Amino acid sequence: MQRHSPLARGARAVLFAAVIGWVWSPRLLDGSPVFVDARARSAMPASEALRQPPTLQNTSSRRGVVEVTLTAAPARLPTMPGGPPVNVYAFNGSVPGPTLEANEGDSVIIHFRNELPEPTTVHWHGLHIPASADGSPLSPIAPGKAHDYRFRLASGSAGTYWYHPHPDRRTGFQIAMGLFGGIIVHAPDDPLAAKGVADKLLILSDNRFDSNGAPAFSDPRSIQGSIDLENGREGDVLFVNGQVMPTISIRPGELQRWRIVNASAARIYRVALAGQHLIHVGSDGGLFEHPVEVPDVLVANSERVEVLVRGSGTPGERSLLEDLPYDRYMPQTRPADWARARQILSLRYESDSVTQPVEIPAVLRHVPPPDTSRVRVRRTIVMSQGLIDGKRMDMHRVDIHSRLGATEIWTIQNVVGMDHPFHLHGFHFQIIDRDGVPEPFSSWKDTGNVPKHSSIRILVHFDDYPGKWMYHCHILEHEDEGMMGVLQVR
């Protein structure tokens, strides 16, 4: 578990947002990863600037209404500079897809069309919205068909989210083919935006390619296919917003906010910035109450983190954002190179300094501590290899029945020798403790990583939105194999 130290009042920091994408570095044409020392900081060769994904265009003229069009379709896009276009899937023709931006209180209408040769859905990961808009495998959209997703963003829902397909047993394939994108919900009283802190989105992903640069998938009957089924499919190329090792520029004294989304199928990132600590200010459900200073941040697959980054280097110098070693694996299928750090991006310090450095607010918003006084139901969910509570997913079966308005404590128990990230659709929860050790501070979550042979306890309140909801391991191969259950709230 991370050790977080409180951030002193008046400290300055930069928050970052990382998005991984779909571009191949010339240094990686042979498919080999880039490795660096864990705390490297040096004058690095130039690389292209990090690009932000396009934003979905709001076609509504009504105040408080966001109306957009989203299409999932095959595309021909190059994955290597100068290389030929290859077959991928894309939202509106780009990988990652365009970012959905909205404000708390907005009514959102997404006109979605499926032009893929197979059924799909769009799951609005982490949003607290009606079950009819969730985009779970219970509501597939057939090829050539259209569907309107409609929901309202509640007060207090500001944060970083993402969207991706969630069809039955094909989620991993469709995401690997290129279907994922970011969501940013803004608050009217965001304390960082009020201070003019620069805001960047970083979607982290990885992939594996064949000799032509197309996404490659192992034969399930092969040894690698068996490893992918157990570990989840990891790629040997890391991306940020469709780029390999891009550069973010920062001025001395500047503070940036990075919104980091882990869109990888199985990889857990342990992100660290050489030469300085990160200021951790938010997670899945938005900002914390107080900033916390950390040497690194663990981002399990499907999780989001918000961090602040300081422009504290010498002009012309570069620092590395790295993925530090983290052992999430079964011992017998652990990759041989798991203990080596990987480069994600470089941070370049500019010559022009900021005239008025930003002071980080000591209080970001109110986040109440977990209130267990109304708990009437306690459950234990057991995650084993490929199974939840000893069962595989059956969409015609309801595994958990709950009542609207109920507050429950769930113990999520991992009984095997690898990590499993637990995701609950539709509702935010708070982690009470990990193996009996209380969480150091309160935050809102929709995904909680459960390390090998350990357990977490979560507090969830089913305040509204009755219907059927999914809960599952978010290692996509595990999810597709049936490591998922159905919760019905009435």
- Residue 1 within any structural domain of the chain: no
Residues 342 and 302 in one domain: yes
Relative to beta strand 255-262, strand 304-310 is antiparallel
Residues 158 and 206 in one domain: no
- Residue 72 within any structural domain of the chain: yes
Among candidate residues 155, 186, 217, the one where a domain is terminated:
186
Residues 208 and 327 in one domain: yes
- Residue 191 within any structural domain of the chain: no
- Residue 125 within any structural domain of the chain: yes
Of 157, 289, 201, 125, whose CA–CA distance to 280 is shortest? 289
- Residue 354 within any structural domain of the chain: no
- Residue 38 within any structural domain of the chain: no
Residues 204 and 342 in one domain: yes
Residues 179 and 208 in one domain: no
Domain that holds residue 297: 10-24+196-349
Residues 211 and 338 in one domain: yes
Residues 428 and 310 in one domain: no
Q: CB within 8 A of 39, min separation 6: which ones? A: 272, 274, 275
Measured CA to CA, the distance from residue 383 to residue 386 in angstroms comes to 8
Measured CA to CA, the distance from residue 121 to residue 134 in angstroms comes to 9
- Residue 232 within any structural domain of the chain: yes
Residues 335 and 476 in one domain: no
Among candidate residues 141, 167, 186, the one where a domain is terminated:
186
Residues 135 and 275 in one domain: no
Provide the 10 A C-beta neighbour count for residue 71: 16
The backbone torsions φ and ψ at residue 154, rounded to the nearest 5 degrees and listed phi first, read -70, 160
- Number of structural domains found in the chain: 3
Residues 342 and 204 in one domain: yes
Among candidate residues 146, 167, 186, the one where a domain is terminated:
186
Residues 394 and 344 in one domain: no
Kind and range of the H or E element at 477?
helix 476-480
Give the CATH number, domain containing residue 396. Answer: 2.60.40.420
Q: CB within 8 A of 155, min separation 6: which ones? A: 104, 105
- Residue 355 within any structural domain of the chain: no
Residue type (1 letter), 425 = H
Residues 201 and 173 in one domain: no
pLDDT in tens, the chain (490 residues): 343 433 333 333 322 233 333 333 323 322 333 333 333 333 344 579 999 999 999 999 999 999 999 999 999 997 765 668 999 999 999 999 999 999 999 999 999 999 999 999 999 999 999 999 999 999 999 999 999 999 999 999 999 999 999 999 999 999 999 999 999 999 999 999 999 999 999 999 999 999 989 999 999 999 999 999 999 999 999 999 989 999 999 998 899 999 999 999 999 999 999 989 999 999 999 999 999 999 999 999 999 999 999 998 889 999 999 999 999 999 999 999 999 999 999 999 998 877 788 999 999 999 999 999 999 999 999 999 999 999 999 999 999 999 999 999 999 999 999 999 999 999 999 999 999 999 999 999 999 999 999 999 999 999 999 999 999 999 999 999 999 999 999 9
